[in-house]
Structure 1
Amino acid sequence: MSATARKTAPMPDDIRARKGGAPIVSLTAYTTPMAQLMDGVCDFVLVGDSVGMVLHGLPSTLGVTMEMMIMHGRAVARGLKTSMMVVDMPFGSYEESPQQAFRNAARIMSETGAGAVKLEGGVAMAETIAFLVKRGVPVMAHIGLTPQSINTLGGYKVQGRGDAADALMADADAVAQAGAFAVVLEKVPAALADRITEEVPIPTIGIGASANCDGQILVVDDMLGLFTAFKAKFVKRYAHLGDDAKAAVAAYAEEVQARAFPGPEHVFGEAAPEKKE
């Protein structure tokens, strides 16, 4: 069944069942209006911790808090009826122990209505993923370039080249065996992404990976041309709304300065007198 024909939001098991089937469509969202535009078009909508950079002006995702993720998760949930919502677990909310991860994941799900959470890490996070899944928390994994680890990865670099390919393959195997229902592959060489997609039993969601992944995701503000602080190679601009908005703001300022706005059609006159019987 196509996303547009679906009457109810998919569950994590529905996403898992799409392995090798029709490509899975996803975008990030942080607000109700944007979520409404995606609803029924995307199979799942990710409330990404990229919100810290895109909407809050932070230099990375490291400063994003649980409160921020819950606030934006609630906003996105109000705009969704037929797409599943996944919420990122922010840096520092799950790495300490499986118990810490469960407390925070349970809070995210109960306070936002999310269908699943997403966390970064492969082999190192397999125990935590298994702990969450056994306790009723569906987990989407994220390997390759993990933005919360940029300080140890040396920046936003492609992951899995050369000798590092086997380690990334091990990460993919580990999260699948731990019970993740899908895994995001970010900034991974296409050939390695193809290999992972072929060998792991759960769907792969590519972002800077391969067209052969089981699905794709982009940051919506990137693909709409609203966030232009930097442009990754893997981002395709489907619109240039930032340029349009800048031109609109300039036109508004010009009309205000010329006293051309507001015009007669934008102001209110006196109320018509009531007719006496």
Structure 2
Amino acid sequence: MSATAQKTAPMPGDIRAMKGGTPIVSLTAYTTPMARMMDAHCDFALVGDSVGMVLHGLPSTLGVTMEMMVMHGRAVSRGLSRAMMVVDMPFGSYEESTAHAFRNAAHLMAETGAAAVKLEGGRHMADTIAFLVARGVPVMAHVGLTPQSLNTLGGYKVQGRGDAAEALVADARAVDEAGAFAVVLEKITAPLADRITAEIAAPTIGIGASPGCDGQILVVDDMLGMFTDFRPKFVKRYAQLGQTGEAAIAAYAEDVRARRFPASEHLFAEKAPGA
């Protein structure tokens, strides 16, 4: 980020202060052009580890590396001048120990210019969150469906139903008390999301949760309709770019095969002698 961007973009404390006010707007971002498109409209952009599935074709987020997060974080930072940037800590980069988590978080922030990092997990990550915050690393927490734990959760299932609700509330309280400046609530029931939003001091950012959350986030490629064969229940598509893009590519292929492209207006002529 430029010096100007750092002066004008909100900081984690500003996001926390939005609790109970105007809803916080956020989207994932992985590239400079997409960051530029959302910069004027989002309070923060998340360089999510979903990049592994969205742009790299991985089956889950588990194969995402620190190097990938740094590369995409740098790309997104070049496109932001107003929105704050948060970068996901990938699987395996923070679970081993608090010291290990700090080294990797500090590396991510130094290499990308991110204002904060995000990590997944509830009560078992509270000590790590507190350790990072005490050392100058703002942390966005993430509870509910945590994609890095899909193998232990049994897949991408709704979390917090029935007897599991109290455990999820305890997770949210723990990360809040540990110092997280915001908490992502993913794929949980709306009443539970509303309860957590009311009971914790940090703003909640919903994804498949409730309109009563303090803010919302979606994977930008999902809400733009980039994928024609994938549509989670909690995603509203604001465009159908996947269909539009496929149609454009088909038209291009047809023009090339029919020798309609390139046409005369796309060609360069020889200059006349002496011109």
TM over 0.5: yes
Matching residue of 1:39 = 39
Matching residue of 2:263 = 263
User: Retained in 2: the 8 A contact 1:27–1:42?
Assistant: yes
- Provide the rounded CA distance (Å) in 2 between the counterparts of 1:231 and 1:164: 26
1:133 aligns with 2:145: no
- Provide the rounded CA distance (Å) in 2 between the counterparts of 1:68 and 1:229: 25
Structure 1 vs Structure 2: percent identity of aligned residues?
78
1:154 aligns with 2:134: no
- Provide the rounded CA distance (Å) in 2 between the counterparts of 1:9 and 1:271: 50
Q: Secondary structure at the match of 2:8?
A: coil
- Provide the rounded CA distance (Å) in 1 between the counterparts of 2:145 and 2:167: 13
Q: Which moved more, 1:227-236 or 1:105-114?
A: 227-236
User: Retained in 2: the 8 A contact 1:54–1:227?
Assistant: no
Q: Secondary structure at the match of 1:110?
A: helix
1:171 aligns with 2:175: no
Q: Secondary structure at the match of 2:253?
A: helix
- Provide the rounded CA distance (Å) in 2 between the counterparts of 1:69 and 1:15: 22
Deviations 1:212-259 (A, max 9, x none): 000000000000011344221001110000100000000000000000
- Provide the rounded CA distance (Å) in 2 between the counterparts of 1:274 and 1:60: 61
The aligned length equals 269
Q: Unpaired segments of 5 or more residues in structure 1?
A: 1-6
User: Retained in 2: the 8 A contact 1:222–1:228?
Assistant: no
Q: Shift of the alpha carbon at 1:8?
A: 1.0
Matching residue of 2:123 = 123
Question: Which amino acid is the alignment partner of residue 28 of structure 1?
Answer: T
Question: Which amino acid is the alignment partner of residue 12 of structure 1?
Answer: P
Deviations 1:88-112 (A, max 9, x none): 0000000011111000000000000
Alignment of 1:60-139 (within 5 A): 60-139=60-139
- Provide the rounded CA distance (Å) in 1 between the counterparts of 2:133 and 2:272: 66
Matching residue of 1:249 = 249
- Provide the rounded CA distance (Å) in 2 between the counterparts of 1:56 and 1:267: 35
- Provide the rounded CA distance (Å) in 1 between the counterparts of 2:95 and 2:229: 29
Question: Which amino acid is the alignment partner of residue 82 of structure 2?
Answer: T
TM-score, length-scaled by structure 2:
0.97
Matching residue of 2:27 = 27
- Provide the rounded CA distance (Å) in 2 between the counterparts of 1:188 and 1:259: 53
Q: CA RMSD in A?
A: 0.8
